[in-house]
Amino acid sequence: MLKTKASSPAVLILAAGLGKRMRSPLPKVLHEIGGSPLLFHILRKVRDVAPDSSVAVVVGYGREQVEARVRGAEEFSRMKISFVHQTEQRGTGHAARCAMDSPWGEAVLKAKSPVLVLPGDLPLLSQELVTQMLAPFGRTDAMRLLTCALPDPTGYGRIVRRGTSGPVLRIVEEKDATEREKELREVAASIYLFQAAFMRYALQRLKNKNAQGEYYLTDLVAAAAGAKKRIDVLKWKPADDLRGVNDPWELALAGRLLNERTVRRVSLGGVKIIDPSNTWIDGTVRVEEGAVIHPGAILAGATVVAAGAVIGPRVVLKDVTVGKDATIKTGTVAEASVIGEKAQVGPYAHLRPESLVGEAAKIGNFVELKKARIGAHTSVAHLSYLGDAEVGRDVNIGCGFVTCNFDGRIIDGKRKHRTIIEDEVFMGSDCQTVAPVRVGRGAYVASGSTITEDVESEALAIARCRQVNKPGVARRLRGK
Amino acid sequence: MLKTKASSPAVLILAAGLGKRMRSPLPKVLHEIGGSPLLFHILRKVRDVAPDSSVAVVVGYGREQVEARVRGAEEFSRMKISFVHQTEQRGTGHAARCAMDSPWGEAVLKAKSPVLVLPGDLPLLSQELVTQMLAPFGRTDAMRLLTCALPDPTGYGRIVRRGTSGPVLRIVEEKDATEREKELREVAASIYLFQAAFMRYALQRLKNKNAQGEYYLTDLVAAAAGAKKRIDVLKWKPADDLRGVNDPWELALAGRLLNERTVRRVSLGGVKIIDPSNTWIDGTVRVEEGAVIHPGAILAGATVVAAGAVIGPRVVLKDVTVGKDATIKTGTVAEASVIGEKAQVGPYAHLRPESLVGEAAKIGNFVELKKARIGAHTSVAHLSYLGDAEVGRDVNIGCGFVTCNFDGRIIDGKRKHRTIIEDEVFMGSDCQTVAPVRVGRGAYVASGSTITEDVESEALAIARCRQVNKPGVARRLRGK
Amino acid sequence: MLKTKASSPAVLILAAGLGKRMRSPLPKVLHEIGGSPLLFHILRKVRDVAPDSSVAVVVGYGREQVEARVRGAEEFSRMKISFVHQTEQRGTGHAARCAMDSPWGEAVLKAKSPVLVLPGDLPLLSQELVTQMLAPFGRTDAMRLLTCALPDPTGYGRIVRRGTSGPVLRIVEEKDATEREKELREVAASIYLFQAAFMRYALQRLKNKNAQGEYYLTDLVAAAAGAKKRIDVLKWKPADDLRGVNDPWELALAGRLLNERTVRRVSLGGVKIIDPSNTWIDGTVRVEEGAVIHPGAILAGATVVAAGAVIGPRVVLKDVTVGKDATIKTGTVAEASVIGEKAQVGPYAHLRPESLVGEAAKIGNFVELKKARIGAHTSVAHLSYLGDAEVGRDVNIGCGFVTCNFDGRIIDGKRKHRTIIEDEVFMGSDCQTVAPVRVGRGAYVASGSTITEDVESEALAIARCRQVNKPGVARRLRGK
């Protein structure tokens, strides 16, 4: 983290593009990988390296959405972020000029802050790259330029130098390049650091005489060279850092790479990951040392997995807290729920939001919970639905139990009604409780009963018919 | 697509081989990747590039199966496809001769069509390759040969030229090659274009004096060179195009590559694919712009996914139509069904064939449908089975509902009977309907009821016992 | 397999390390990939190549666990395995000396066996490598050294030779290397074969004057060179063989590579594997020719899949026997169970231990079995739980059936009671049987019945209420 308050940098993020090739109405920088918009990945790196920097995000297409999304993110609430509106799409040079001409730009100029320019669609930028770009300028530098030597430079702006390795003269876009220039392998990556004054001066003099008819930010290189100003070059090794996202396929590939980084980080923290290519972990998830994650797991959002917990194959967790030594078995799906220590859940359990599974409780296969609180050491082992329910501790819920939380009636303005099952109740199999209803502590409900009235503590409740056997009738039925 | 009717080409596909290393009784070219037999992938490329060509497929091992499969495929019904029977496996030269000596060959000779020869086990051939192979001959060309320079040429027939880069003299098979010849890196890919007359002439003079005792089609190169005829060479960059399938492992790898191509194509059409390495899409599937596909989804057969639909993790769809903005949640399995716009299905729902989910209907977890038609805005939220059922709109089906469509009786010659539930019915939890039965519009069935008789519209049906509470008995039961 | 009894080799496996970077209390060599500890993978290669060798495993950290695990493995029960305790972690040279000074070492010296030294954390060692390392010594060789030329040798001990390709002089560890030595690309892989007498002699003279203050086994190279003894070098091509496991990420990567090997081997045996990157097969699993495995399957432990069986997507099997032509559908989870020929199971069935599915039986979706024996041609098609049950042949179990095997009572000292359903029973939907109970052959149980008493053969059992329809009441209920 940089701490020099004196020259805390300014950061300009270009996020106005439509992203036509994305074939989507969503602004390009809001497309997500690893559970967060592309823009967030950039902002996080800026926050981690230079938390005090003054950030401007140039927005255009879908700007309300972009602004709303950033402003709504708690994680960026302490950053100084301004939004600059680029009303027309007239190129990166024009975008930068909009920023420098804005109140944000005025303040930056006044503070003489160096200005780091980052594209909003490079979500894999590393902290190391941002740190090195923000290193202090040499005394005579007007700008710093990041370049990269690519085996196949097709599509990129080429770095034209004096001779083969002399000072940088200019950047030429592919569309404006001669055949000879196209053979150059050193390319620009749209990442710059500028002296604020030079930047503004040069932007105001930018021309759009090129194949696209746009104002290119890249032309500031020629402007600096022409004015005999010094250009510092940061040569970067080809890396995923510079992988841009221009279409849904590149988005998907960037998502895989980001995930691999996250999985590797989690793994090195002492988490056993059985198959690194088949595990998805959002950057926002926390997994403690000693946990185990089986193939196909998807951990998303604010999920936390405690030490010793086992996440089985194909488990999908979003915003779920998994307690110490809990076991989540194959295919369980859970959202916005809390699973206690040593609890066992699944296979194929479904925890809908606001469910809470107590310590050492057992939720078995084909069980659905919704706004259900299950006490410690309680067992709901098979094929049941508990919605809007409060279940005590040491309760045994048989197979095929249903809380009838909705029967079409509106009571006290509510459509769904609560079921309360107190500690140590024994609920037989294939029972239903028609809510609102309470089954008292230690009560026993006979299998096959439909419970419509409260059951007092320690009572036996039964609501079923006696069995009648009719000898020989089966043979007759089969005859039909 | 080539349009010169004058010389519309002939295409000869070699598909007679047993494929011993496949270790399977299935003819090699019928092994499937991406949901279709290897042979179909070749035929599609021929159809796309030269739909009017006269195609001969040389068949031998399992020829009835191969013929039946191709003839049964609607997608090839407009192509002119003949089958030539190679009764013995005596080499590629013999296979080609069988074809040229057949009525198909007679017609080709008469029409003076150039003959493109393709192996039936190169399923990744690109359209580009077929197009370039079919480019018109130079005036003096007797044949065209596709070659490829491989870093490791082991196993392939080597191209022997005069000097290092002079005209091609012959192809030597690995087994017949000298040590010196084995060092050659330019190999043949078993893809040729022949002048029909030269081809037949040369095939009739082919000898089988080689390590295998077989007639090699590759020897036509030496025949052309020996007769001072011109051989055109199409040099191809090493690519998946030429990846052959000779054993189950190569089949698996080819399948992965084909899938990657399909996923990339779908993605670039504006579909958000979260993990490109964990998504399987048959080439026959259509996904519209704006859909989202989560990791592990398998989309097969004639499946169509409309714009805005979300296919959740591990969803498996075969021949399913998913409507606009529908959401299919984790692990749902569906076959030969239709899911309406804005419907929500899953997680872990199972739609067996002939199910139809209406607009904005909800099919929840652990629900099985079979030949069930569910009306618009109807909810079947949990743990239910609806088979042979017709359910109206705005119906609420509680948890644990079962249509008893089979009770051992045969009625009107049918073992399974229909259940009809009309609009706006409220079906409580844990109910069963014993079919044939009808529940009238707006009726209400109390939880826990077994419905054996029709329920008239607006009636309340109830078939359960009153609850009895026996104070203190639970304590006694526990004592036992 | 080597068969020369005369000089049957000794094998020394270094397995004492803590594996600090693993961030786990488990001894490093007990971390598992492919269903077995790292150490087991090494031991298997030794067993396969030299079954009669005298093996010593040097243990230190967690030695009781390591010993117990190896001694408990039936597969190694015929090998001669000793354990040598290294009480302090003082380097590989010290570990080897502990072994040579032990009774095992005395016996090895006496027998003049060559000693193969293998690290316990190279789980991908190939049989070929072990075989070549164990080739007989030349007459004057004191030791054999495995080396490998790496593009990036960082972290490895470098091979210092006289000149660039003269005899080996010594190995220098990265930490002790000069800048010049660091440029050497030929590295040591910690795999040696020693003449026993030389080994012991040199180990006793080993010094620990190095950056780590440890005794290095690598210094035996300099010792041999210094004593003018001949060092045989086995140059190995860079390969996964030598991939070590030092942290959880390397463990995960090694696991993937091992799995790819296993999947490839299974595939080449005639098994159709749809996606080789998404199939997990333990080395201990057996799959017969003609089986098909869909994406995401996990086959673990002693699982056997017979010919013609189809393992659907995401099926998880552990210690399960799948019969010929059986079909296991999507997402089914089974453990320690037997599935008969032509049986159909799933999707989303759950077979808990000791379940047995008879020939051509059907276990459908959302069905759980536990200690349940299901007869041939019997159908349990949907949403049921059968625990502690014996079900005959040709039985039809309706949807939503539950064996109430536990009702809180202890009978004859048992908490769970048995349910017996004899041949040809028809069990209607939504029935429960309260165990212990028997339903006799050919009996018929009406839908919705709770069966608490035995049903005699051919009887109809019914335990439900008559249906009452109350006209117009539904409208009133809605009004509420």
User: What is the pLDDT averaged over residues B239-252?
Assistant: 93
Residues C185, C289 share a domain:
no
Set A85, A94, A350, A382: catalytic member: A382
Q: What is the pLDDT along chain A (480 residues), one digit of tens a residue?
A: 444 444 689 999 999 988 899 999 999 999 999 999 999 999 999 999 999 999 999 999 999 999 999 999 999 999 999 999 999 989 999 999 999 999 999 999 999 999 999 999 999 999 999 999 999 998 889 999 999 999 889 889 999 999 888 999 999 988 889 999 999 999 998 999 999 999 999 999 999 988 888 999 999 999 999 999 999 999 999 888 999 999 999 999 999 999 999 999 999 999 999 999 999 999 999 999 999 999 999 999 999 999 999 999 999 999 999 999 999 999 999 999 999 999 999 999 999 999 999 999 999 999 999 999 999 999 999 999 999 999 999 999 999 999 999 877 777 888 889 999 999 999 999 999 999 999 999 999 999 999 999 999 999 999 988 999 999 998 888 765
Q: What is the DSSP string of A33-49?
A: ETTEEHHHHHHHHHHHH
Nearest-CA neighbor of C34 among C279, C226, C227? C279
Q: Which residues of B touch C466 (CB under 8 A)?
A: 463
- Closest in A275, A382, A466 to C463, CB measured: A466
| Dist CA A129 CA A364 (whole Å) | 48
| Residue from the list C402, C450, C460 with its beta carbon closest to the beta carbon of A473 | C460
Contacts of C289 in chain B (CB under 8 A): 23-24
Residue written as token pair 């140590």: A424
The structure tokens 């009238």 sit at: B440
A281, A182: one domain: no
CB neighbour burial string for A135-153, b if at least 16 within 10 angstroms, e if fewer: eebeeebbbbbbbbebeeb
Report the residue from C290, C347, C447 with minimal CB separation from B404: C447
> Is there a domain that residue B341 lies in?
yes
- Residue C416 shares a structural domain with residue C278: yes
Q: How many CA atoms lie within 13 A of C436 on its CB side?
A: 7
CB contact under 8 A, A276 and C253: yes
Chain A CB within 8 Å of residue C251 CB: yes
The domain boundary residue, chosen from A224, A242, A260: A242
Residue of A nearest to C480 (CA): A409
Please report which residue ranges of A410-472 form alpha helices under DSSP H: none
- Tell me if B262 is assigned to some domain: no
CB contact (8 A) between residue A330 and residue C316: yes
Give the A window 120-159 contacts with C, CB below 8 Å. none
Task: Locate all alpha helices (DSSP H) within C170-312, ordered by sequence.
Answer: 179-182, 196-204, 219-226, 248-268
- Which residue segment(s) compose the domain that A445 sits in? 271-461
Per-residue pLDDT reduced to its tens digit, C98-145: 999 999 999 999 999 999 999 999 999 999 999 999 999 988 899 999
Residue of C nearest to B428 (CA): C474
Residues 302-361, chain C: which have Cβ within 8 Å of B? 313-314, 329-331, 347-348
Shared-domain flag, residues A143 and A200: yes
| DSSP code of residue C354 | S
User: What was the pLDDT predicted at B5?
Assistant: 44
Q: Which C positions 166-225 lie with beta carbon below 8 A of chain A? A: none
Residue B399 contacts A where some CB pair is shorter than 8 Å: yes
Q: Does A290 touch chain C (CB under 8 A)?
A: yes
Tens of pLDDT, residue by residue over B113-150, are: 999 999 999 999 999 999 999 999 988 899 999 999 99
Assign residue B209 the CATH number of its domain: 3.90.550.10
Do the Cβ atoms of C408 and A467 come within 8 Å?
no
Indicate whether A236 and A317 sit together in one domain: no
Could you tell me the CATH number of the domain that includes residue B315?
Answer: 2.160.10.10
Can you tell me which residue has the tokens 């799409």? Answer: A89
Using CB atoms, pick whichever of A264, A270, A314 lies closest to residue C23: A270
Position C474 in a domain: no
Report the pLDDT value the prediction gives residue C413, as an integer from 0 to 100: 82
Taking residues B28-57, what's their average pLDDT?
97
- Are C191 and C50 part of one and the same domain? yes
Percentage above 70 pLDDT, chain B: 98
Select from A406, A432, A477 the Cβ nearest to the Cβ of B448.
Answer: A432
- Asked if the structure places residue A205 within a domain, the reply is yes
Looking at the structure, tell me whether residues A221 and A303 fall in a common domain: no
Alpha-carbon gap, residue A69 to A29, rounded angstroms: 11
Query: Taking 60 as the threshold, does the pLDDT of residue C1 lie above it?
Result: no
CB spacing of C272 vs B248 below 8 angstroms? yes
* From B94, B350, B382, B417, the catalytic residue: B382
Which amino acid belongs to residue A113?
A: S
pLDDT (tens digit, 9 = 90+) per residue, A77-94?
999 999 999 999 899 999
Residue B409 near chain C (CB below 8 Å): no
Instruction: Identify the pLDDT of residue C165.
Output: 87
Looking at the fold, whether A179 and A278 belong to one and the same domain comes out as no
Q: What are chain C's partners, defined as 3 or more CB pairs within 8 angstroms?
A: A, B
Task: Tell me which residue in B275, B428, B477 faces A460 most closely, judged by beta carbons.
Answer: B477
Give C241→chain B minimum CA distance, Å.
21
* CB proximity C465 to B under 8 Å: yes
Q: Is A382 a catalytic residue?
A: yes
Whether residue B223 is found in the same domain as residue B284: no
To the nearest whole Å, the CA of C94 is away from the closest chain B CA by 45
B17 found inside a domain: yes
In tens, the pLDDT along C361-370 reads 999 999 999 9
Residues B171 and B277 in one domain: no
Question: Which of C379, C401, C430, C431 should we substitute to test contact with B (largest number of B Cβ atoms within 10 Å)?
Answer: C430
pLDDT score, position C117 = 98
B198-221 pLDDT per residue, tens: 999 999 999 998 888 899 999 999
Cα distance from C443 to chain A (closest Cα, Å)?
6
For B72, residues 6+ apart whose C-beta sits below 8 A from its C-beta are: none
Q: Determine, yes or no, domain membership for B383.
A: yes
Do A222 and A118 belong to one domain? yes
Q: In angstroms, rounded to a whole number, what is the distance separating the alpha carbons of residues C161 and C167? A: 5
**Rg of chain B's alpha carbons, rounded to an integer?**
31
Is the C-alpha dihedral spanning B106, B107, B111, B113 positive or negative?
Answer: negative
- Alpha-helix residue ranges (DSSP H) falling in B214-342: 219-226, 248-268
3-state SS, C400-442, equals: CCEEECCCCCCECCECCCCEEECCCCEECCCCEEECCEEECCC
CB C358 within 8 A of CB C377: yes
Q: Which of C268, C383, C471 sits opposite B385 (nearest CB)?
A: C383
Beta strands A141-149; A186-194: pairing state? antiparallel
Q: Which residues of C are catalytic?
A: 382
For residue C468, the distance in angstroms to the closest alpha carbon of chain B comes to 5
Q: What is the ipTM of this complex?
A: 0.94
Which residues pair with residue C460 across a beta bridge? A470, C444
- Our count of domains for chain A comes to 2
In a domain, C43, yes or no: yes
Distance of CA A50 to CAs A4, A117, A137, A241, B58, Å?
10, 14, 16, 18, 69
Hey, which bits of C229-340 come out as E strands?
Answer: 230-236, 272-273, 280-281, 286-287, 292-293, 298-300, 304-305, 310-311, 316-318, 321-322, 327-328, 333-335, 338-339
- Distance, in Å, from the CA atom of C421 to the CA atom of B372, rounded to the nearest integer, reads 31
B246: contact with C, CB 8 A cutoff: no
Residue of C275, C371, C395, C407 to mutate, interface with A, max A Cβ within 10 Å: C407
C297 and C235 inside one domain: no
Q: Which residues of C touch A397 (CB under 8 A)?
A: none
Nearest C-alpha in A relative to B261: A249
Q: Please list every residue in chain A whose beta carbon sits closer than 8 Å to the beta carbon of residue C461.
A: 467-470
pLDDT at residue C6 above 70? no
Q: Is residue A278 part of a domain?
A: yes
